[in-house]
Chain A
Amino acid sequence: MAHIELKNIKKSFGLVDVIKGVDLEIFSGEFMVFVGPSGCGKSTLLRLMAGLEDITSGEMTFDGTLVNALAPSKRGIAMVFQSYALYPHMTVYENMAFGLELAKSSKETIKERVEKAAELLQITPYLSRLPKQLSGGQRQRVAIGRAIVRDPKVFLFDEPLSNLDAALRVATRLEIAKLHHAMNSSTMVYVTHDQVEAMTLADRICVLRDGLVEQVGTPLELYENPQSLFVAGFIGSPKMNFLNGEIASKFGANTIGVRSEHIEIADRDGAWKGKVVHSESLGSDSYVYVDIGAGGDPIIVRQEGTHMHQPDAAISIAPIPGKVYRFDKAGKPVKN
């Protein structure tokens, strides 16, 4: 259990400001996900919370106590690294037990805890193996196991799944979700740039951009009410379609955004007419790329099921009314 509060946190490396004043509250037991483009400072923010980097200015509290100057080991955290960071010369068991040996736990307690975590993560058969004798997914589970045995108040994950292949990613994602349910008293902070991970795992998502918080909210809030063009474009897959110019002014906005699932193919007289650039079928869904002569990227339209469209065929599409996001010049939503 830990309630984490960041107040105007800043971090610079030399002259480079990386985190530029982050205010954020993470409730105890919450699963908070940081997303944002590469280089926006997600890892840095996480490492500040871990205590692996010094905070340049601002206040960070865990349950009301200031932790700015507290050593990582005193914060009651556990971290899972993108690279796993397993001790290569120690067996899986030793890897998980190494951090416990100092806590003056007796041998039996250590054994008990390691075995319990191993069971939870289904790595019991590998306890006597070295990390190099494991697959990537197994290694990642060992890394998670090493975090679990410490029974931390806060779990920090830095892109733990990014080295895994697609299938394993989904499986391990599920395991992390289960873990969160099993250990619902632990606060979890999870960095990713994969927004499917963010949407599926998070209680709340924090979108970071260039060292600042862009928006914080539940996955649905971010999906339905993006508070900026950036968030609108970042959340959702495929990316939201943006249109400028005349088409947008008809809606009284500088830019409008429509998600691909909110555009329908009209029979003849849809609002926008154009031709098919390309179409892809994924089995359950199909995507049609349509050029309506507005410049910019082709508009992506999602259809359920399998539909094939001939390239260059004329097509007419229309946004579902009420599902058009309108943004002003500054990229903020237009209010009316």
Chain B
Amino acid sequence: MTVEATAGQAVRTQPKIESELLKSRVGAAMWFLLPMLAALAVVAGWPLLRTIYFSLTNASLTNLYEAEFVGFKNYLSWTTLKSGRTVFSGLLVDPAWWNAVGNTLRFAVISVTLETVLGMVVALVLNAEFKGRGIVRAAILIPWAIPTIVSAKMWSWMLNDQFGIINDLFMKLGLISHKIAWTASADTAMTAVLIVDIWKTTPFMALLILAGLQMIPKDIYEAAEIDGVHPVKVFFKVTLPLVRPALMVAVIFRLLDAMRIFDLIYVLTPNSAATKTMSVISRENLFDFDKFAYGSAQSTFLFLMIAVMTGLYIWLGKVRFDGGDR
């Protein structure tokens, strides 16, 4: 890192020597980036700006274009009653919203933690040499390759309280005494969502970690073997520190993904307060309840949360996306 930093400075402090070369390089880079930037501006930038704008208006689905600017009313507003009592309203004091925030955070933390641990285990297994490794590597990706809607529907049948195979299996094994309404019951809905998400996403995690594991040279494991270092110690003192950059990137990807979870919950546990996440509730407001401005405020809030979390995470973990260490 220090080397690169000084190299960067050198370029900056001696602009004349390389200016021609630099100019042509920057020019080329611009041209290569331009289509991407344009596409991003159209499909991500513009909708984002529109959402933020709508969150500051009183827009509704039927009245999108004549919406009036109302400032931060959707986030927080208050009226003082004649009795002198002040009543607050808006997103920041909405218990349904905070319930969704709680659900989202709980889902994100639990699923990403378990997926990371399981993904690491799977990656370690796949990194070992055994016969048929190629096939296992391909097979393990299947859950991830199935579209979420399809796997959610599949699991919702498997978890069905009357006809589902899971209840049937558990009953036969004597693990449960009566059939459980996995997706409908408030106690188990979140568990059901977590199970499906972990089933689906662990392979992705494993693959990212596996890529990191394969960057670690084999010979240092042989050196450790000659030193007689216990395998557990090797894992914590050698493998984990060396795979950390890849692991951090994988965790960020997954965390951002988990924060905006929508499709799985929408299909698996519709209308359950126990699993309703920020994306689900904002979609509800946007399109079902005709509170377009309020839904936009919720979307904006979600965006800000993700942005802040990413910033914090990168700063705390000092992740470098070029794969190097600090």
Residues of A within 8 A of B (CB): 50-52, 71-74, 77-79, 81, 83, 85-89, 98-99, 102-103, 146, 150
Contacts and interface: CB of A to CB of B under 8 A. Distances in A.
Given A52-B222, A72-B225, A102 B230 contact: yes
Contact of A99 (B219, B229, B241, B325): B229
Contacts of B220: 85-88
A51 B229 CA distance: 15
A73 B228 CA distance: 4
Interface in B201-230: 217, 219-220, 222-230
Nearest to B244: A89
B233 interface: yes
B242 interface: yes
A71 B228 CA distance: 8
A107 B40 CA distance: 56
A302 to B, nearest CB: 40
Nearest to B216: A88
Contact of A85 (B217, B230, B241, B325): B217
A159 to B, nearest CB: 12
13 contacts: A52-B222, A52-B226, A71-B228, A73-B228, A74-B228, A79-B226, A81-B223, A85-B219, A85-B222, A86-B223, A88-B220, A98-B237, A102-B233
Contacts of B242: 88-89
Contacts of A78: 226
B222 A73 contact: no
Nearest to B324: A132
A77 B228 CA distance: 11
Interface of B: 217, 219-220, 222-230, 233, 237-238, 241-242, 325
A51 B222 CA distance: 10
A86 B224 CA distance: 10
A89 B228 contact: no
Contacts of A86: 220, 223
A87 B222 CA distance: 11
Contacts of B325: 89
A73 B238 contact: no
Given A85-B217, A89-B325, A98-B237, A79 B229 contact: no
Contacts of A50: 226
B229 A89 contact: no
B228 A85 contact: no
Nearest to A89: B241
B212 to A, nearest CB: 13
A202 B48 CA distance: 72
Contacts of A74: 228
A76 to B, nearest CB: 10
Interface centre among B219, B227, B237, B325 (most CB of A within 10 A): B227
A102 B227 CA distance: 9
A81 B217 CA distance: 12
A99 B222 contact: no
A51 B220 CA distance: 15
A230 to B, nearest CB: 30
Nearest to B229: A102
Interface centre among B217, B225, B226, B229 (most CB of A within 10 A): B226
Contacts of B229: 98-99, 102
Contact of A81 (B222, B228, B238, B241): B222
Contacts of A150: 227
Contacts of A99: 224, 226-229
A50 B227 CA distance: 11
A50 B230 CA distance: 17
Nearest to A72: B226
A37 to B, nearest CB: 23
A52 B225 CA distance: 8
Contacts of A102: 227-230, 233
B232 to A, nearest CB: 11
B248 to A, nearest CB: 14
Contact of B238 (A52, A87, A103): A87
B219 A81 contact: yes
B226 A77 contact: yes
B6 to A, nearest CB: 14
A236 to B, nearest CB: 32
Nearest to B219: A85
A255 to B, nearest CB: 41
A80 to B, nearest CB: 9
B226 A73 contact: yes
A102 B225 CA distance: 12
Contacts of B225: 52, 71-73
Contacts of B237: 98
A89 B241 CA distance: 7
